[in-house]
Amino acid sequence: MTVASETNRSGPYTGNGVTTAFDYEFRIVNRDYLKVLKANAAGNETVLTIDADYTVTNVGNSGGGQVVLTVPLSTGQTLTLLPLVPFTQEIDLENQGAYYAETVEKAFDLSVMRDQQLQEQINRAVTIPASEDPAQLDGLVHDILRLADSADEIDIVAGIAPNVTTVAGIAADVSSVAGNATNINIVADLDPGATGSLLLAAEAAADARNILDAAPYVTTRAALKALDTTKDQVAILTEQGRRGVFVWSAGNWSTLVAADTLEGVYIKANTVASAAGAWIRAHGNQPLNVLWFGALGDNVQDDQPMFAAAYALAKVIGSATTEGPCGSVWGPPGYRYKWGATLNLDVPVRLKIEGEIFYTPVAGAAIVVGATLHTARGNTQYDIDIGVMRAVNGNGAAPTGINTGGSIGIELRDVQFSHIRVEFAIAFTYAGIYANASNNVFTGQHIQDNWINFGEVAYCGVGFLAESHGAADGAFQVNEVHIQNTFGNWCNLVVGKAGDGNTNNNLFFVSAADSDTGGGNLIVWSSYNFLQFGYIIGAIDLKAGSFYNRVVHQVGNAQCPVTDNGTGNLVQNNVEGTLSQERWQSSDVAKPPINVINTDGGATVAEVIAMRRRSPTAAANDGGVAIAAYFFDDAQQEILGGRIRTDMPTVASAGTNYNMRWLFETIVGGARAVRAIIWQGLTVGASAADQGLGTVNVDTGYYKSGIKVVGAQNTGWTAGTGTALKAAWAAYAGQTHTGAYVQATVQALDDNCKNSSQRVKAIEDALRTHGLIN
């Protein structure tokens, strides 16, 4: 976060005896980085102490927050708020170590805050004009010191100067007063009145306080309960962590007193039934602070009961329903909250824990959201914001597996339209976050339409795990999940489980998915999910049964190997491109699902589609690549209609001695056969040229079983003349000739010679027509 404002102080604010909350208008990153000064009418300043005198809200907010005093600022007093950034630098960047931009940015922010703090002090310093010689400062300081030595005398004279002037002007009146000494004595004998007499007679401070109706200070809740509510209506509790102003309120508060088991807000008086009245903390619209309920945040005491007590009271105050948060519970920053049990949230709440949670059990979840089924199926609208969650007895080093009976950071069960944010989850043996819609706790666990944000998830069994039971009832679906960095988990991200097609239609955005410790980086069992990774290293496994998922990332296949045993999944990166099946669908025959267009105006051939086969072994490439056409048969079953493929049956080395062939395969009688139908001219050979529609131009010749049957055109023939015989004719069978030739025999020979020559002429014409001779 940047430091965009130059504001370096707030105040001074003037007290009115009622207001307790005052704005600080600059950003602080730690509640201790704020100096709170209270000044009385004389200008004497007191530095207030955090927790004892005030609390701080919205630490880290760019616009600042509020300082809330435990006691209202009195009339005549002022309050000034200043930054108090320490002059230390504790960030140690190792050479070639991990680089976290946020860590460096935080150091820069602190430097700017420190500069603004110094500028505020300079603004209050005595300075000389820039045009003056700084050497003159020595003389000025010497004169100031001389005056300081006579300060007492100067103060005396200055203090009585008006009086001296006045007395000098009323000398005659002074003489008159001296003549009225008797009357002055009468005034001295006047009765001070009832209140004055009581005050003069009071022997104890408590008596004087009761007379003046001043609020008492009590150090314990026991002392608060013991107050006489007929005399005291306001009290100030100074018990550590529970400090605050309590107001006596008549009325039936029995329900809230009973709900507030740890006396954070509602406290029963010893001598008055809660149905008649109670002491109530004056906290305005502030969230319920777990410190009021006894949390210490020292990582020694178990603070989970205090969070549970604050949540239980919030449910009663807010008349909890299944829609909208019932109230707000706050764990202030700067504390380490040890938890020895699960915090179960069964109705919506705003829970903000800015400190760290140290979860000690070896099983179960630190927080369960939607712990019981919301039968109304309403919009649950939880607002959960957690700083750091640690499994104290979790994975001490890189995990070697997933403990399905182990610890969980946050478990989601029945949650809708909610906001879940965790800054850091570490060392949980089962999962950092478990989106559990598997119905393994109660029927109808449904997680839908939520916004889930994780800062970092590390050293867990699974970083993020989502499982479902059924699409209609018990599914993790239509959620948006953001993860800044997940690393060092056995498996970083698991979407679904075996047989689960209902963890679907979710968006996952992961800035960095660093190396897992053996279980794989991403495992997808389910369907219709979109997952985008800025950086990822480790295996992606799309399991059998997964379908139509989309995975997009920015690294190569060698760094992020992909196994896709699903249907219609797509894995795409910016190195190899799409690594698994991509499908397009259209129901309009006039609108092809794919249009590839090149608008280059050059004469060079534009390559618009490239198919590549990259088998690990050379021989495997011989199978080539193909374009296949599938159709539905009459039973609406998809069948192969044909293929166009190209292969290289021999490959010696790159760029030399290799052959390529095209094969047009059709289906005949249900079996695939190599056939070809040419609708435009086909050229075969290096020098052959396309001769137009329906032609085949062969450079050398046609072969049958290795024997050349048609070759190049035979030239040198002179065209025959005469009539060609194409009609039917009987081949001459021959006859026996005797010594005497008769006319019929000679005529028969003549006729057959004529017919034969005309048939030869017809064959010659045919050969010439088809270009075989010339």
Does residue 39 register a pLDDT over 90? yes
Classified as helix, coil or strand, 109 is helix
| Cα–Cα distance measured from residue 640 to residue 642, given in angstroms and rounded to the nearest whole number | 6
Residue 406's pLDDT band (cuts 50, 70, 90): very high
Residue 752 in this model has a pLDDT that exceeds 80: yes
CB proximity list for 458: less than 8 A, separation 6 or greater: 424, 425, 426, 427, 432, 485, 486, 487, 488, 489
- 579 — pLDDT class (breaks 50, 70, 90): low
Question: Each residue of 490-501: pLDDT tens digit?
Answer: 999 999 999 998
H-helix or E-strand spanning residue 191: none
Which range (11-25, 638-652, 669-683) has the least confidence?
A: 669-683
Say how far apart CA 260 and CA 254 lie, in whole Å: 10
- Does pLDDT of 577 surpass 80? no
Residue 583 has pLDDT above 70, yes or no: no
E strands, 577-675, are 577-578, 625-632, 638-647, 651-653, 656-658, 661-668, 671-674
Confidence of residue 400 (pLDDT cuts 50, 70, 90): very high
Question: Per the omega criterion (within 30 degrees of 0), is the bond before 12 cis?
Answer: yes
pLDDT at 114: 85
Q: Report the candidate in 225, 228, 222, 191 with the shortest Cα–Cα distance to residue 209.
A: 228
Report the range out of 64-78, 452-466, 580-594, 699-713 with the highest average pLDDT: 452-466
- State CA 559 to chain mean position distance: 24
Q: How far apart are CA 536 and CA 553, in angstroms?
A: 7
Instruction: Look at residue 38 and tell me whether its pLDDT is greater than 90.
Output: yes
Confidence of residue 204 (pLDDT cuts 50, 70, 90): low
pLDDT score at 233: 92
- Judged by average pLDDT, the poorest of 359-373, 399-413, 629-643 is 629-643
Predicted confidence (pLDDT) at residue 311 exceeds the cutoff of 80: yes
Q: In what order do the strands lie in the sheet with 65-69?
A: 21-24, 65-69, 54-56
pLDDT number for residue 544? 95
Q: Specify the DSSP class assigned to residue 739.
A: S
Give me the mean pLDDT over the 329-357 stretch: 96
> Over the stretch 459-492, which tens digit does the pLDDT of each residue have?
999 999 999 988 777 899 999 999 999 999 999 9
CA dihedral 311, 313, 317, 321 (to 10 degrees): 50
**Dist CA 435 CA 422 (whole Å):** 14
pLDDT digits 0-9 by tens, 270-305: 999 999 999 999 988 889 999 999 999 999 999 999
Could you tell me how far CA 392 lies from the centroid of its own chain? 25
CA dist 285 and 64 (Å) reads 18
- pLDDT tens readout for residues 160-183: 767 667 766 776 776 776 677 676
pLDDT at 363 over 80: yes
pLDDT at residue 144 in the model: 74
Euclidean distance between CA atoms 65 and 50, whole angstroms? 15
For 434-465, what is each residue's pLDDT tens digit? 999 998 887 878 899 999 999 999 999 999 99
pLDDT at 329 over 70: yes
Angle of helix 193-201 relative to helix 205-212, nearest 10 degrees? 160
Report the 10 Å Cβ neighbour count for 713.
13
